[in-house]
Structure 1
């Protein structure tokens, strides 16, 4: 019988810290974007590509990492990922030209591809089916906090120097790597890993992609893509938008994102379970997509600091509630294939994180309002896709 979440508190804290640190790296770059643009005379398009290249690397590595998680064990892949992340942040902090920054972001993407499936599969292994939604809610809260609070932390630390956020990230990544070596234990035996590996060793990335088209997974994976696309497009241009339109300082931007992330995580941790019980997964996802689309449009017409803060709080909350609903569903559907599903989840997240920032940066150069309007359109499309999501069929598939 598996231990309860309370009995595994130390292990869960380490796992949640690891995933938080990995996703912190995505957001850290954002508050210093305007400064980097000025120093290196870069366009919005280039900055969008700098964010997107992280996701390209993650996309290419995620399927392999998901397979290695099932073959070599969760712990080894998590530790390697954290080490690579620390190296990538160190390189970024020392970089003086764009090519070095790209190398850093590629390494960071590879590290995220290792950490995300490793941690997700580890959490699924050590929790019962009954407690898994709660654990996945915590996991999603850690991801959301890292992704959203990254710019906040980066903005505050940047007061001591524009490169300090990256040295800080490198230090905590190495610390997390060392603590994981001594505290984490591989949740599966060698025999269990060998059995999973034997079942999947003949399968390649193309086959995995085809399997992800299974109706059981596909609608959820598409919404994962929409979620990543919308949030990354919104967040990538947020600091540029705020600095150019309102004259907000890095500290102002950091304050807005930090308050928004705290609000989102508090609601997510304490209210997510109740909202699922009342609305169900499908209705909650649809409500979040509607809210996100409306607020993305609203972002183009507001002006005061408090209004921007309020809109940002609720748009981030909508994304925060979407992720655990999808992750829980996918984890339940996965059975013994936690590595495969976590890897594909990471793959579709990466696709969204590639297209979102790239399009956001290109559209920003045309008109600063276009990225938000485009994000709204994508979310409306996602809403339309959920109409095809037949819950009854999914429940029957899960029961078989």
Structure 2
């Protein structure tokens, strides 16, 4: 019989700390991007590529990492991921040439691809079916908190030097790696790992990708892509836009992102369920896309710090409500194919995270307003696509 969550508090704390640190490090780069851009004389296109290359590395590594988690064990993959993450942050902090920045982000993407499935699988191993949703909720909260605190931590630590946030991330990731080596124990035997690995060979990433193009799924996954594209494009240029247009400092940028993120998460926690009950997932998704598109356009004509903060709060709120609404709708419609839908959800999110920053960086070099306007157009297209989305088409089909 598996122990309860309370009885495994220390193990869960280590696991949640690992995933939190990974996503904290991802967010650290956002407020110091303008400073790096100025110090190293980089273009907006290059900064966009630096964000996109992380997602490319994560996307390409994820299918293999998932299988390695089943083949070599959760603990090994988690600790390797943390070590790679520590090295990647250290390289970014020490880099004086753009090639080293790219290498750092590639290693960072690979490390994220290792840590995420490793932690998720470990949590599933140590929890019962009854407590698993609660534990996975903790994992999701750790990820969200890392994203929220990351830019804030990066901005405030940057007051002591623009490279200090990366040295800080490298240090805590290394400490987490050492802690995991001594505290975590592999939950599955070699025989169990072989059995799981053998079962996983019957599926492949290519077959799942082809299946996602089925009319039953494609509309929902296009909206997933739109969400990731819009959010990553907005976040990528936000710090550059704020620096170039308003002269905001890293601390100003960190403050805006942190307050906006907290606002979005608080509303999500206390009002999301009620909004779904009143509107339903589809209407809430459409409302979020409309709001996001309007606010992206409004962002190009404002200048006051407090107005920028207010508009950013509502943009983050739209994205923070859109993500769980879409995930809930997909999960409700997936029937027995929860694993497939969850995997493709991650894949299309990664694709959006690749294309969004790359396009935003290129457009930023042409005109600093273009990335926001293009993000608005993409969200408007996503809104149009939802008009063709019938209620629960996947669920009905899968029940047949």
Length-normalised TM-score, structure 1: 0.87
- 1:378 corresponds in structure 2 to 378
Superposed CA RMSD = 3.0
Contact 2:335 2:399 (C-alpha < 8 Å) held by counterparts: no
- For residues 369 and 3 of structure 1, do their structure 2 counterparts lie closer, same or farther at Cα, with a shift above 3 Å needed? farther
- Aligned positions of 1:101-116 closer than 5 A: 101-116=101-116
CA–CA distance in structure 2, aligned partners of residues 269 and 256 of structure 1: 20
Structure 1 counterpart SS, 2:392: helix
Contact 1:137 1:272 (C-alpha < 8 Å) held by counterparts: no
Moved more, 222-231 or 164-173: 222-231
Is 1:281 paired with 2:281? yes
Cα deviation for residue 346 of structure 1 reads 3.2
- 1:351 corresponds in structure 2 to 351
- 2:268 corresponds in structure 1 to 268
RCO comparison, higher one (Cα < 8 Å, 6+): 1
Moved more, 267-276 or 374-383: 267-276
Contact 1:52 1:354 (C-alpha < 8 Å) held by counterparts: yes
Cα deviation for residue 109 of structure 1 reads 0.7
Higher Cα Rg, which structure: 2
Structure 2 counterpart SS, 1:29: helix
Any gaps of 5 or more consecutive residues in structure 2? none
- 1:97 corresponds in structure 2 to 97
Cα deviation for residue 17 of structure 1 reads 2.9
- For residues 36 and 184 of structure 1, do their structure 2 counterparts lie closer, same or farther at Cα, with a shift above 3 Å needed? same
Is 1:82 paired with 2:74? no
CA–CA distance in structure 2, aligned partners of residues 304 and 234 of structure 1: 18
- For residues 191 and 322 of structure 1, do their structure 2 counterparts lie closer, same or farther at Cα, with a shift above 3 Å needed? farther
Moved more, 149-158 or 193-202: 193-202
CA–CA distance in structure 2, aligned partners of residues 321 and 65 of structure 1: 29
- 1:367 corresponds in structure 2 to 367
- 1:223 corresponds in structure 2 to 223
- For residues 220 and 169 of structure 1, do their structure 2 counterparts lie closer, same or farther at Cα, with a shift above 3 Å needed? farther
CA–CA distance in structure 2, aligned partners of residues 214 and 306 of structure 1: 45
CA–CA distance in structure 2, aligned partners of residues 280 and 189 of structure 1: 44
Structure 2 counterpart SS, 1:302: coil
Cα deviation for residue 197 of structure 1 reads 2.5
Moved more, 347-356 or 278-287: 278-287
CA–CA distance in structure 2, aligned partners of residues 277 and 4 of structure 1: 32
CA–CA distance in structure 2, aligned partners of residues 285 and 131 of structure 1: 29
- For residues 392 and 14 of structure 1, do their structure 2 counterparts lie closer, same or farther at Cα, with a shift above 3 Å needed? same
CA–CA distance in structure 1, aligned partners of residues 185 and 210 of structure 2: 33
- Count of residues in correspondence between the two structures: 399
- 2:58 corresponds in structure 1 to 58
Residue-by-residue CA offset, 1:137-179 (whole Å, 9 max, x unaligned): 5544433333343222111101101110001111121222233
Contact 1:230 1:375 (C-alpha < 8 Å) held by counterparts: yes
Any gaps of 5 or more consecutive residues in structure 1? none
Structure 2 counterpart SS, 1:300: coil
CA–CA distance in structure 2, aligned partners of residues 143 and 259 of structure 1: 17
Contact 2:228 2:353 (C-alpha < 8 Å) held by counterparts: yes
Contact 1:77 1:114 (C-alpha < 8 Å) held by counterparts: yes
Contact 1:228 1:350 (C-alpha < 8 Å) held by counterparts: yes
Cα deviation for residue 13 of structure 1 reads 4.1
- Aligned positions of 1:222-261 closer than 5 A: 222-261=222-261
Cα deviation for residue 299 of structure 1 reads 0.9
CA–CA distance in structure 2, aligned partners of residues 178 and 69 of structure 1: 19
Structure 2 counterpart SS, 1:51: helix
CA–CA distance in structure 1, aligned partners of residues 227 and 236 of structure 2: 14
- 2:314 corresponds in structure 1 to 314
- For residues 295 and 14 of structure 1, do their structure 2 counterparts lie closer, same or farther at Cα, with a shift above 3 Å needed? farther
Cα deviation for residue 328 of structure 1 reads 5.0
CA–CA distance in structure 2, aligned partners of residues 140 and 119 of structure 1: 11
